[in-house]
Amino acid sequence: MKKIRTSIIIPARNEEEGIAITLKEIRQFTNNSYEVLVVDGASTDNTTKVAESYDCLTAKQDRDELGKGIGLRMGFDFAHGDKIVWIDADDTYPVNMIPRIVKELDKYDVVVCSRKYGKEHMPKFNRFGNWLFKVLIQKLHGFKGNDPCTGLYGVKREHLLKMGLTSTHFAIEPEISIKAGHMKLKTLDIPITYKLRIGDTNLNPIKVGFEDLWTIIKLIGWRPK
């Protein structure tokens, strides 16, 4: 059996439409050195059935422990690959960038796909928040990427395991970015085009904004062990 070298993790909640498109594109380039894990946040639609139809590994979050951060951390724990890539399930990110992310992880510790183009598909409040958090995380925490809140990201598994991640919701990417900055991980930033999402969003921008800001503040003194 060929060794699993790359794990693609997709956290999803009620994303049956978007995840079908995402997985169809992923299966165009994956071979048996990849594993694809969908972590279902107690969906009430057919998200898990769609994932299983594309021969994905699936994990279900307990209804009492929901959140993107919890889902991603579950995925990190279950993953077998040395390279970890995760992508949102709503078809807003270019799946065809994943092979490049995987290749670049041969040379870099972290690959960040920054939403440089297609910003018109993002609410103005979200755009402002992403800009503000980028500036704060770069200035306060030394992160080298231009989009610490992106939903398309690659990191070597060995570094994720050293971060001691605790975020339960959407602050998981800012937490990873902050800790990557303090760990001085070699980071590559790749500009991408952000697309209009399929289906309704699970994100409350006000709540997420406060969570991200609190994460930025509370981790000012964080240092790797």
Residue 224 falls inside a structural domain? no
**Helix, strand, coil abundance in the chain, percent, nearest 5:** 40, 20, 40
pLDDT (0 to 100) of residue 219 = 98
Number of domains within the chain = 1
Residue type at position 131: W
State the CATH number of the domain containing residue 58: 3.90.550.10
pLDDT (0 to 100) of residue 75 = 95
pLDDT (0 to 100) of residue 225 = 81
For residues 113 and 150, give the distance between their C-alpha atoms in angstroms, rounded to a whole number: 7
pLDDT (0 to 100) of residue 1 = 56
Residue 143's domain spans which residues?
6-218
In tens, the pLDDT along 124-163 reads 999 999 999 999 999 999 999 999 999 999 999 999 999 9
Helix (H) or strand (E) holding 84: strand 83-87
Q: How far is CA 139 from the centre of its chain?
A: 22
Query: Which residues on adjacent β-strands are paired with residue 12?
Result: 40
Neighbouring residues of 160: CB distance < 8 A, sequence distance ≥ 6: 76, 84, 176
Which stretch of 25-39, 64-78, 81-95, 193-207 has the lowest confidence by average pLDDT? 193-207
Residue 42 falls inside a structural domain? yes
Q: How far is CA 183 from the centre of its chain?
A: 19
Residue 223 falls inside a structural domain? no
